[in-house]
């Protein structure tokens, strides 16, 4: 019960504490406005290049823009504990580490789903994107899987941020790596083999492919394999993130470097 409380309530409180500076004036331009323009920009670029049909770019980018919450938010959720000087008191508590760590992911998952849903809604409103109504349920499941997986990836990067000094460099790099490698804008089959290999190990790649199939009329069952692959990728990052978190925690305690920024 205590672990569940730490997972849900602790996760919510930590989000409010670490993002106490956020207001609608920050949230709307950054999370909704900025991501909407990413979506519109790449859709128009796709329309111009005519590499694929418009739905290819709309769906790819509407899923991809969730990464701004999943990657940057998750990195800040972990690394900012160190920068704000709250890491030591946090780790001094006897709280279940898994609940503590995983609970931090929840707000970013919710945010990522909201951003992606906003992207799809605005695409319908502004870009003549009109998916069949029957695809919306499966699409929501696929997006959720992608967001969960991407958040695990963000937590993995955030754990690296417990050691790395420039955590935003990691975030920026990851954001653009995902843009290039997940197939959001570049069809995977035109990428060189080594890039396709990297793509398959990144979050969102399988979710974007599944989302495109669902929007094209496929059933959820027919994309279940892709969703499963997406969740497996996410699970791998989650395990790696937790392992790194524990490793760096133990090392920082041993070397007394918890508060070094």
Partner 1 sequence: MAALAGTLELLIAAPVPFIVVLVPLTLATAAYGLVSLVSTLVWGRVLFGIRLELVHPFLFVIAVPSAVIGLGLLGLLLASTFVLYRNANALSNLLGEPVWLITGMLVPISLLPGWVTPISWVLAPTWGVRAIREAALGGDPLPAILMCLGLGLVYTLLAALCLRHFERLARARATLALT
Q: Whole-angstrom Cα distance, residue 103 to residue 114?
A: 18
Q: How many CA atoms lie within 13 A of 187 on its CB side?
A: 11
Q: Whole-angstrom Cα distance, residue 168 to residue 137?
A: 35
Does position 194 bind partner 1 by CB under 8 A? no
Q: How far is the CB of 49 from partner 1 (least distance, A)?
A: 9
- Residues 26-45 touching partner 1, rule: CB under 8 A, are 26, 29-30, 33-34, 37-38, 40-41, 44-45
Q: How far is CA 18 from CA 10, 82, 96, 131, in A?
A: 12, 11, 20, 37
Our CB check for partner 1 shows the closer of 61 and 199 to be 61
- Residues 240-259 touching partner 1, rule: CB under 8 A, are none
Query: Which of 173, 172, 180 lies closest to 199, judged by CA?
Result: 180
Cα end-to-end distance, the chain, whole Å? 34
Helix, strand, or coil (residue 145): helix
Q: How far is the CB of 54 from partner 1 (least distance, A)?
A: 12
Q: Residues in contact with partner 1, total (CB under 8 A)?
A: 15
Number of residues written out for the chain: 261
Binding mask 10-29 for partner 1 (x = CB under 8 A): -------------x-xx--x
- Residues 46-65 touching partner 1, rule: CB under 8 A, are 47-48
Helix, strand, or coil (residue 231): helix
Our CB check for partner 1 shows the closer of 16 and 47 to be 47
Our CB check for partner 1 shows the closer of 7 and 72 to be 72
Q: How far is the CB of 84 from partner 1 (least distance, A)?
A: 15
Our CB check for partner 1 shows the closer of 8 and 37 to be 37
Task: For residue 15, give both structure tokens.
Answer: 């989000």
Our CB check for partner 1 shows the closer of 34 and 98 to be 34
Q: How far is the CB of 190 from partner 1 (least distance, A)?
A: 13
* Exposed e or buried b per residue across 199-211, where buried means at least 16 C-beta atoms within 10 angstroms of its C-beta: beebbbbbbbbbb
Task: For residue 65, give both structure tokens.
Answer: 């823009």
Q: How far is the CB of 36 from partner 1 (least distance, A)?
A: 9
Q: How far is the CB of 33 from partner 1 (least distance, A)?
A: 5
Our CB check for partner 1 shows the closer of 4 and 45 to be 45
CA angle 75, 103, 15 (to 5 degrees): 60
DSSP 217: T
Our CB check for partner 1 shows the closer of 32 and 110 to be 32
Which residues lie near partner 1 (CB under 8 A)? 23, 25-26, 29-30, 33-34, 37-38, 40-41, 44-45, 47-48
């Amino acid at each position: 019960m205590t672990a569940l409380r730490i997972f849900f309530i602790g996760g919510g409180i930590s989000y409010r504490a670490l993002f106490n500076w956020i207001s609608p004036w920050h949230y709307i331009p950054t999370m909704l406005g900025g991501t909407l323009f990413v979506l519109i920009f790449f859709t128009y670029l796709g329309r111009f290049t005519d590499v694929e049909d418009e739905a290819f770019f709309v769906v790819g980018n509407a899923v991809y823009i969730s990464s701004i919450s999943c990657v940057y938010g998750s990195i800040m959720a972990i690394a900012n504990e160190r920068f704000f000087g709250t890491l030591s008191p946090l780790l001094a508590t006897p709280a279940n580490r898994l609940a503590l760590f995983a609970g931090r992911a929840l707000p970013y998952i919710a945010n990522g789903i909201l951003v992606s849903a906003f992207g799809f809604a605005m695409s319908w409103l502004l870009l003549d994107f009109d998916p069949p109504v029957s695809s919306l349920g499966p699409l929501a499941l696929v997006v959720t899987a992608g967001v969960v997986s991407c958040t695990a990836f963000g937590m993995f990067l955030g754990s690296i941020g417990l050691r790395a000094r420039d955590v935003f460099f990691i975030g920026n790099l990851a954001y653009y790596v995902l843009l290039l490698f997940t197939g959001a804008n570049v069809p995977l089959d035109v990428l060189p083999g080594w890039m396709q290999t990297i793509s398959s190990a990144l979050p969102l790649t399988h979710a974007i492919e599944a989302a495109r199939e669902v929007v094209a009329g496929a059933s959820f069952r027919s994309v279940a394999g892709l969703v499963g692959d997406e969740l497996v990728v996410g699970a791998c990052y989650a395990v790696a993130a937790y392992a790194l978190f524990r490793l760096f925690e133990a090392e920082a305690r041993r070397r007394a470097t918890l508060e070094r920024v």
